[in-house]
Protein backbone atom coordinates (compact mmCIF):
# COMPACT_ATOMS: atom_id res chain seq x y z
CA UNK A 1 0.00 0.00 0.00
CA UNK A 2 2.82 2.36 0.92
CA UNK A 3 4.48 1.41 -2.33
CA UNK A 4 1.41 2.44 -4.24
CA UNK A 5 1.31 5.79 -2.42
CA UNK A 6 4.96 6.31 -3.27
CA UNK A 7 4.30 5.54 -6.93
CA UNK A 8 1.34 7.88 -6.99
CA UNK A 9 3.34 10.71 -5.42
CA UNK A 10 6.20 10.25 -7.89
CA UNK A 11 3.78 10.08 -10.78
CA UNK A 12 1.94 13.16 -9.60
CA UNK A 13 5.07 15.29 -9.38
CA UNK A 14 6.29 14.18 -12.82
CA UNK A 15 2.80 14.73 -14.17
CA UNK A 16 2.75 18.25 -12.76
CA UNK A 17 5.83 19.10 -14.83
CA UNK A 18 4.26 17.61 -17.94
CA UNK A 19 1.15 19.67 -17.27
CA UNK A 20 3.14 22.88 -16.87
CA UNK A 21 4.99 22.05 -20.03
CA UNK A 22 1.91 21.23 -22.06
CA UNK A 23 0.20 24.42 -20.86
CA UNK A 24 2.84 26.44 -22.69
CA UNK A 25 2.06 24.53 -25.90
CA UNK A 26 -1.65 24.99 -25.26
CA UNK A 27 -1.47 28.76 -24.85
CA UNK A 28 0.16 29.20 -28.24
CA UNK A 29 -1.98 26.56 -29.88
CA UNK A 30 -5.20 28.10 -28.63
CA UNK A 31 -4.46 31.49 -30.18
CA UNK A 32 -2.65 30.46 -33.36
CA UNK A 33 -3.76 26.90 -34.02
CA UNK A 34 -0.15 25.80 -34.44
CA UNK A 35 2.33 24.03 -32.23
CA UNK A 36 5.45 25.90 -31.22
CA UNK A 37 8.16 23.29 -31.70
CA UNK A 38 10.72 25.60 -30.10
CA UNK A 39 8.97 25.11 -26.74
CA UNK A 40 11.28 22.28 -25.66
CA UNK A 41 14.32 24.42 -26.43
CA UNK A 42 12.94 27.29 -24.34
CA UNK A 43 12.40 24.83 -21.49
CA UNK A 44 16.09 23.90 -21.78
CA UNK A 45 17.03 27.57 -21.80
CA UNK A 46 15.05 28.10 -18.58
CA UNK A 47 17.09 25.39 -16.90
CA UNK A 48 20.39 26.85 -18.10
CA UNK A 49 19.37 30.39 -17.11
CA UNK A 50 18.49 29.17 -13.63
CA UNK A 51 21.77 27.32 -13.39
CA UNK A 52 23.79 30.39 -14.39
CA UNK A 53 21.82 32.78 -12.19
CA UNK A 54 22.42 30.80 -9.02
CA UNK A 55 26.12 31.12 -9.78
CA UNK A 56 26.80 27.85 -11.60
CA UNK A 57 29.96 27.79 -13.70
CA UNK A 58 30.21 26.59 -17.30
CA UNK A 59 32.22 23.39 -17.78
CA UNK A 60 35.41 23.08 -19.78
CA UNK A 61 33.77 22.70 -23.21
CA UNK A 62 32.07 25.30 -25.36
CA UNK A 63 33.01 28.85 -26.18
CA UNK A 64 32.05 30.13 -22.72
CA UNK A 65 34.22 27.57 -20.91
CA UNK A 66 34.83 28.55 -17.31
CA UNK A 67 32.37 31.45 -17.44
CA UNK A 68 30.51 32.27 -14.26
CA UNK A 69 28.15 35.15 -13.46
CA UNK A 70 29.61 37.53 -10.86
CA UNK A 71 26.41 37.21 -8.81
CA UNK A 72 24.92 34.13 -7.20
CA UNK A 73 21.20 34.58 -6.62
CA UNK A 74 19.16 32.38 -4.30
CA UNK A 75 17.06 29.79 -6.14
CA UNK A 76 13.69 31.40 -5.36
CA UNK A 77 14.87 34.60 -7.07
CA UNK A 78 16.78 32.96 -9.91
CA UNK A 79 13.80 30.86 -11.00
CA UNK A 80 11.38 33.70 -11.83
CA UNK A 81 14.13 35.71 -13.51
CA UNK A 82 14.98 32.66 -15.63
CA UNK A 83 11.27 32.42 -16.44
CA UNK A 84 11.18 36.05 -17.57
CA UNK A 85 14.29 35.61 -19.72
CA UNK A 86 12.75 32.51 -21.30
CA UNK A 87 9.60 34.49 -21.96
CA UNK A 88 11.68 37.12 -23.74
CA UNK A 89 13.28 34.42 -25.90
CA UNK A 90 9.81 33.06 -26.72
CA UNK A 91 8.82 36.55 -27.90
CA UNK A 92 11.89 36.53 -30.13
CA UNK A 93 10.86 33.15 -31.54
CA UNK A 94 7.40 34.53 -32.31
CA UNK A 95 8.95 37.46 -34.12
CA UNK A 96 11.30 35.38 -36.27
CA UNK A 97 9.43 32.12 -36.83
CA UNK A 98 5.73 33.00 -36.64
CA UNK A 99 5.07 36.62 -37.50
CA UNK A 100 6.49 36.68 -41.05
CA UNK A 101 4.35 33.66 -41.96
CA UNK A 102 1.24 35.08 -40.32
CA UNK A 103 1.66 38.34 -42.24
CA UNK A 104 1.68 36.34 -45.46
CA UNK A 105 -1.30 34.19 -44.42
CA UNK A 106 0.84 31.14 -45.06
CA UNK A 107 -0.15 27.53 -44.39
CA UNK A 108 0.00 27.03 -40.57
CA UNK A 109 1.97 23.86 -41.20
CA UNK A 110 4.90 26.05 -42.23
CA UNK A 111 5.07 27.57 -38.73
CA UNK A 112 5.61 24.03 -37.46
CA UNK A 113 8.71 23.85 -39.62
CA UNK A 114 10.07 27.32 -38.83
CA UNK A 115 9.59 26.93 -35.08
CA UNK A 116 11.36 23.57 -35.27
CA UNK A 117 14.22 25.45 -36.94
CA UNK A 118 14.24 28.08 -34.18
CA UNK A 119 14.35 25.33 -31.55
CA UNK A 120 17.20 23.50 -33.28
CA UNK A 121 19.18 26.74 -33.45
CA UNK A 122 18.59 27.54 -29.76
CA UNK A 123 19.60 24.07 -28.59
CA UNK A 124 22.73 24.05 -30.69
CA UNK A 125 23.69 27.56 -29.63
CA UNK A 126 23.58 26.35 -26.03
CA UNK A 127 25.77 23.43 -27.05
CA UNK A 128 28.18 25.73 -28.87
CA UNK A 129 28.44 28.13 -25.94
CA UNK A 130 28.26 25.80 -22.97
CA UNK A 131 29.30 22.40 -24.28
CA UNK A 132 27.32 19.17 -24.36
CA UNK A 133 28.04 17.99 -20.82
CA UNK A 134 25.42 17.87 -18.10
CA UNK A 135 25.20 20.50 -15.38
CA UNK A 136 23.50 19.97 -12.09
CA UNK A 137 21.95 22.55 -9.85
CA UNK A 138 23.21 21.82 -6.32
CA UNK A 139 20.43 20.55 -4.06
CA UNK A 140 21.68 22.92 -1.37
CA UNK A 141 20.13 25.76 -3.39
CA UNK A 142 16.87 25.29 -1.55
CA UNK A 143 18.48 26.71 1.59
CA UNK A 144 17.57 25.19 4.89
CA UNK A 145 14.68 23.07 3.60
CA UNK A 146 15.03 19.33 4.29
CA UNK A 147 15.90 17.10 1.31
CA UNK A 148 12.77 14.96 1.67
CA UNK A 149 9.51 14.93 3.55
CA UNK A 150 7.71 11.97 5.02
CA UNK A 151 4.12 11.73 3.94
CA UNK A 152 1.94 8.92 5.28
CA UNK A 153 4.68 6.30 5.07
CA UNK A 154 5.96 7.49 1.68
CA UNK A 155 8.93 9.75 1.20
CA UNK A 156 8.71 12.62 -1.23
CA UNK A 157 11.61 14.84 -2.14
CA UNK A 158 11.21 18.52 -1.29
CA UNK A 159 11.94 19.33 -4.92
CA UNK A 160 8.97 17.24 -5.96
CA UNK A 161 6.72 19.03 -3.48
CA UNK A 162 7.98 22.31 -4.88
CA UNK A 163 7.29 21.14 -8.43
CA UNK A 164 3.78 20.12 -7.52
CA UNK A 165 3.10 23.35 -5.60
CA UNK A 166 4.48 25.71 -8.25
CA UNK A 167 2.65 23.89 -11.03
CA UNK A 168 -0.63 23.99 -9.12
CA UNK A 169 -0.30 27.70 -8.36
CA UNK A 170 0.64 28.61 -11.93
CA UNK A 171 -2.14 26.51 -13.43
CA UNK A 172 -4.62 28.11 -11.01
CA UNK A 173 -3.43 31.64 -11.82
CA UNK A 174 -3.55 30.96 -15.53
CA UNK A 175 -7.09 29.59 -15.39
CA UNK A 176 -8.21 32.54 -13.28
CA UNK A 177 -6.61 34.93 -15.74
CA UNK A 178 -8.13 33.33 -18.82
CA UNK A 179 -11.63 33.02 -17.39
CA UNK A 180 -11.79 36.01 -15.06
CA UNK A 181 -10.09 38.99 -16.63
CA UNK A 182 -10.67 41.21 -19.61
CA UNK A 183 -7.34 40.38 -21.25
CA UNK A 184 -7.92 36.67 -20.65
CA UNK A 185 -11.29 36.92 -22.39
CA UNK A 186 -9.50 38.78 -25.18
CA UNK A 187 -7.20 35.78 -25.56
CA UNK A 188 -10.21 33.49 -25.86
CA UNK A 189 -11.73 35.80 -28.46
CA UNK A 190 -8.53 35.74 -30.52
CA UNK A 191 -8.41 31.96 -30.33
CA UNK A 192 -11.99 31.84 -31.59
CA UNK A 193 -11.37 34.16 -34.55
CA UNK A 194 -8.49 36.66 -34.73
CA UNK A 195 -10.05 38.83 -37.44
CA UNK A 196 -13.38 39.27 -35.65
CA UNK A 197 -11.55 39.89 -32.38
CA UNK A 198 -9.55 42.60 -34.09
CA UNK A 199 -12.76 44.19 -35.40
CA UNK A 200 -14.16 44.20 -31.86
CA UNK A 201 -11.23 46.26 -30.67
CA UNK A 202 -8.98 43.53 -29.33
CA UNK A 203 -5.36 43.90 -30.32
CA UNK A 204 -4.84 40.42 -31.77
CA UNK A 205 -1.12 40.91 -32.35
CA UNK A 206 -0.65 41.89 -28.73
CA UNK A 207 -2.68 38.91 -27.45
CA UNK A 208 -0.51 36.60 -29.51
CA UNK A 209 2.60 38.15 -27.97
CA UNK A 210 1.14 37.75 -24.48
CA UNK A 211 0.46 34.08 -25.22
CA UNK A 212 4.03 33.53 -26.40
CA UNK A 213 5.54 35.46 -23.48
CA UNK A 214 3.48 33.49 -20.96
CA UNK A 215 4.21 30.18 -22.62
CA UNK A 216 7.93 30.95 -22.55
CA UNK A 217 7.69 31.94 -18.90
CA UNK A 218 5.96 28.65 -18.01
CA UNK A 219 8.54 26.68 -19.99
CA UNK A 220 11.39 28.52 -18.25
CA UNK A 221 9.96 27.84 -14.80
CA UNK A 222 9.37 24.19 -15.63
CA UNK A 223 12.92 23.91 -16.98
CA UNK A 224 14.46 25.44 -13.87
CA UNK A 225 12.46 23.17 -11.55
CA UNK A 226 13.25 20.02 -13.51
CA UNK A 227 16.90 21.09 -13.70
CA UNK A 228 16.91 21.26 -9.91
CA UNK A 229 15.09 17.94 -9.60
CA UNK A 230 17.02 15.71 -12.01
CA UNK A 231 19.99 17.84 -13.24
CA UNK A 232 20.39 19.27 -16.72
CA UNK A 233 21.48 16.41 -18.94
CA UNK A 234 22.99 18.56 -21.68
CA UNK A 235 21.41 20.93 -24.21
CA UNK A 236 19.14 18.22 -25.61
CA UNK A 237 17.31 17.44 -22.41
CA UNK A 238 14.35 19.66 -23.25
CA UNK A 239 13.78 17.98 -26.60
CA UNK A 240 12.68 14.75 -24.94
CA UNK A 241 10.21 16.66 -22.78
CA UNK A 242 9.16 18.62 -25.86
CA UNK A 243 8.22 15.50 -27.80
CA UNK A 244 6.57 13.91 -24.77
CA UNK A 245 4.67 17.15 -24.19
CA UNK A 246 3.03 16.55 -27.56
CA UNK A 247 1.61 13.32 -26.18
CA UNK A 248 0.23 15.18 -23.17
CA UNK A 249 -1.22 17.83 -25.43
CA UNK A 250 -3.01 15.40 -27.73
CA UNK A 251 -4.27 13.26 -24.84
CA UNK A 252 -5.85 16.26 -23.11
CA UNK A 253 -7.06 17.90 -26.28
CA UNK A 254 -5.21 20.52 -28.31
CA UNK A 255 -5.97 24.02 -27.08
CA UNK A 256 -7.70 22.96 -23.86
CA UNK A 257 -6.19 24.28 -20.60
CA UNK A 258 -7.83 21.75 -18.24
CA UNK A 259 -7.04 19.09 -20.85
CA UNK A 260 -3.33 19.86 -20.68
CA UNK A 261 -3.37 19.48 -16.89
CA UNK A 262 -5.37 16.25 -17.00
CA UNK A 263 -3.19 14.84 -19.78
CA UNK A 264 -0.02 15.68 -17.86
CA UNK A 265 -1.23 13.98 -14.70
CA UNK A 266 -2.46 10.88 -16.54
CA UNK A 267 0.81 10.38 -18.41
CA UNK A 268 2.90 11.12 -15.30
CA UNK A 269 0.95 8.51 -13.32
CA UNK A 270 0.96 6.00 -16.17
CA UNK A 271 4.75 6.27 -16.46
CA UNK A 272 5.13 5.78 -12.71
CA UNK A 273 2.97 2.66 -12.89
CA UNK A 274 5.16 0.96 -15.52
CA UNK A 275 6.64 -2.09 -13.76
CA UNK A 276 10.38 -1.87 -13.19
CA UNK A 277 11.27 -4.83 -15.42
CA UNK A 278 9.69 -2.97 -18.35
CA UNK A 279 11.11 0.43 -17.37
CA UNK A 280 12.93 0.68 -20.70
CA UNK A 281 9.56 1.15 -22.34
CA UNK A 282 8.58 4.03 -20.05
CA UNK A 283 9.50 6.61 -22.67
CA UNK A 284 7.06 5.03 -25.09
CA UNK A 285 4.03 5.48 -22.79
CA UNK A 286 3.33 9.07 -23.85
CA UNK A 287 3.62 8.17 -27.52
CA UNK A 288 1.43 5.13 -27.13
CA UNK A 289 -1.26 7.36 -25.58
CA UNK A 290 -0.73 9.91 -28.34
CA UNK A 291 -1.08 7.36 -31.09
CA UNK A 292 -4.16 5.72 -29.60
CA UNK A 293 -5.81 9.04 -28.89
CA UNK A 294 -5.26 10.35 -32.41
CA UNK A 295 -6.90 7.22 -33.78
CA UNK A 296 -9.81 6.98 -31.38
CA UNK A 297 -10.57 10.57 -30.43
CA UNK A 298 -8.33 13.11 -32.22
CA UNK A 299 -9.83 16.04 -30.31
CA UNK A 300 -8.47 14.58 -27.05
CA UNK A 301 -10.20 13.99 -23.72
CA UNK A 302 -11.37 17.56 -23.15
CA UNK A 303 -10.91 19.20 -26.54
CA UNK A 304 -13.57 20.59 -28.81
CA UNK A 305 -14.54 18.32 -31.72
CA UNK A 306 -12.47 18.98 -34.84
CA UNK A 307 -14.36 20.98 -37.42
CA UNK A 308 -14.60 19.50 -40.89
CA UNK A 309 -12.78 21.96 -43.07
CA UNK A 310 -14.60 22.80 -46.28
Partner 1 sequence: MDTTLLQQMLLGALLGISVYLPLRCGQLSLATPGFYAIGGTVAALLSTRIPALGGDGVSYPISSVLLEMALAAMVTGILALGIGKVVLRLRGIYLAISTIALVEILRVVSLNLSFTGGAIGIFGIPQPFASPEGYVGFTSLLLAVVCWLCDRLERTRPGLAMAAIREDELAAASQGINTANTKLLAFVLSALVAGVTGVIAAHFLNSWNARMGNFDASITTLAFVVFGGTRTWLGPVIGGLVLTALPELLRPVGDLRLIVYGLVILMGPVLFPQGVITPERLSRWSRMLRQRLRLEAPTP
Contact positions toward partner 1, by CB under 8 A?
Answer: 34-35, 96-97, 100-101, 104, 106, 108-110, 112-114, 116-121, 123-125, 128, 239, 243, 246-247, 250, 254, 280-281, 283-284, 287-288, 290-291, 294-295, 298, 309-310
Nearest Cα residue to 221 out of 15, 58, 31, 79: 79
Closer residue to partner 1 in complex, CB, 33/140: 33
Tell me the closest approach of the beta carbon of residue 263 to partner 1, in angstroms: 13
Closer residue to partner 1 in complex, CB, 56/238: 238
Closer residue to partner 1 in complex, CB, 81/243: 243
Cα–Cα dist 189/271, whole Å:
36
CA distances to 35, 110, 114 from 100, in Å: 16, 11, 10
150 φ, ψ (degrees, to nearest 5): -95, 135
Question: What DSSP state is assigned to residue 67?
Answer: -
Tell me the closest approach of the beta carbon of residue 62 to partner 1, in angstroms: 10
Tell me the closest approach of the beta carbon of residue 174 to partner 1, in angstroms: 23
CA distances to 15, 21, 224, 269, 284 from 243, in Å: 15, 11, 18, 18, 11
CA distances to 151, 197, 208 from 212, in Å: 37, 18, 6
Closer residue to partner 1 in complex, CB, 1/310: 310
Tell me the closest approach of the beta carbon of residue 182 to partner 1, in angstroms: 30
Tell me the closest approach of the beta carbon of residue 203 to partner 1, in angstroms: 24
Closer residue to partner 1 in complex, CB, 98/217: 98
Tell me the closest approach of the beta carbon of residue 4 to partner 1, in angstroms: 25
Cα–Cα dist 90/209, whole Å:
9
Cα–Cα dist 243/218, whole Å:
17
Closer residue to partner 1 in complex, CB, 75/98: 98
Amino acid sequence: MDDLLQILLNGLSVGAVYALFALGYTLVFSVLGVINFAHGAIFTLGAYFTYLLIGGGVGSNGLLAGFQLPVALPFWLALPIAGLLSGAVALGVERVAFRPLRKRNADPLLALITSLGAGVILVNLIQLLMGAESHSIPTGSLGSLPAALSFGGARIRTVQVLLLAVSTVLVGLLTAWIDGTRSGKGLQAVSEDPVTAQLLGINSGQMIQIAFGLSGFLAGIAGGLVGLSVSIAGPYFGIGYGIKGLGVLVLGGLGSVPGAVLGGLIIGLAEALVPSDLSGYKDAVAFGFLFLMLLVRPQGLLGKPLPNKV
